[in-house]
Structure formats: C-alpha cells, structure tokens
Structure 1
C-alpha cells in the first residue's frame, strides 16, 4: 500500500535537482560524459577539453580535417545532444 505522498526515487531526485537549481549543470555534465558514446571512439580520441559555458559547448579538435567535418554537421550534433538531454541545454558549439 502506497501513501499519497510517496514518490519514486527518480521523481524525488528530479525534484531535488530542480529545487536546488542543479538540473542544468547535471544535464551538462551528463552530455560531456556521453560525448564518446554519441560521437564514437574515433572522434572522441581526436577531441579534448570539452566544457560547457553559457549554453555553448567548447571542443578542442586536434585534426583540421575532423574540425571541418564537425563544422558541417554542427546543427545535427546540437540537435542530437539536446535530444539526449531531454531539453534545450546547448545553443551553440565552438570548435577551438
């Protein structure tokens, strides 16, 4: 028998993240951690210094050829990452 104020653990954690305004930072950290899985090992091995600041994802790319390819699919990467987060976490990607 459940009480009326019982919540699942998932709901309780989501509520805690919202109350303490940690949801965005949590989502940003999850996206950075998922970068190798989303982009593949070949791309992940040639990128470094991933960080998010002011809704922009900054990525250092070691290969100029890879940088050009990523520039061409920048909007697709943004869409894929925001979809993974479940909300609009990123507005822009900056390649360094």
Structure 2
C-alpha cells in the first residue's frame, strides 16, 4: 500500500476556505457583526437593539441619541477594528440609527 502525503484536518480546511471565497466572506460578515458587541462591551450593548450587515454596510439600531453621536465621531476607527476582527476588509461603512 502506497502512503500518500498526509495533511492535517486544519491544513485541509484552510485550503478549502482559501478556495471558497463566498464561504470565507460569509464567515467574515458573521465575525464583524459579532465583534460589534465584543469590541464595544456591555455598556454599548445595552443600548444596541439590532445589528446586521448588508452590502458591506453595518447597520446598527441604537436607543440612545447621545451614544449614536459619540459613535458617529469614531466611525472610521470602529470600521478598522471591525475589519480587523473579521480578518478581512468587509465593513466599508456604518449606519447608526
């Protein structure tokens, strides 16, 4: 019996995700949405009603206008942090409602 080059499961999965860009993008989108609550903590989470990503824009519904104004001023920094958490540039804009 010939022994072929064996690979670990992690290597096989990495190769699969590199080839399948649709799946990799969907996973990055999920990470970006989940990172909103992780990055901003429980204080902001209390005022966050809904978070979703559509066409590379993160939509966030907030119940506090003061918090909305504060986050609006830090939008560029938030986009960078969310993309870093997602592992790829997936968020290009944030709409705070």
Same fold (TM over 0.5): yes
Q: What residue in structure 2 maps to residue 16 of structure 1?
A: 16
Structure 1, 31-40 or 77-86: larger mean CA deviation:
31-40
Inter-partner Cα distance in structure 2 for 1:91 and 1:58 = 11
TM-score scaled by structure 2? Answer: 0.84
For structure 2, list consecutive stretches of 5 or more residues without a partner in the other structure.
none
Inter-partner Cα distance in structure 2 for 1:91 and 1:20 = 18
RMSD over aligned Cα atoms: 2.0
Answer yes or no: is 1:43 the counterpart of 2:23: no
Q: 3-state SS of the aligned residue for 1:94?
A: strand
Answer yes or no: is 1:67 the counterpart of 2:68: yes
Q: What residue in structure 1 maps to residue 34 of structure 2?
A: 33
- What is the CA distance between 1:60 and its match in structure 2? 0.2
Larger RCO (alpha carbons 8 Å, 6+ apart) = 2
- What is the CA distance between 1:8 and its match in structure 2? 4.3
Q: 3-state SS of the aligned residue for 2:69?
A: helix
Q: 3-state SS of the aligned residue for 1:40?
A: helix
Contact 2:50 2:61 in 1 (8 A): yes
TM-score scaled by structure 1? Answer: 0.84
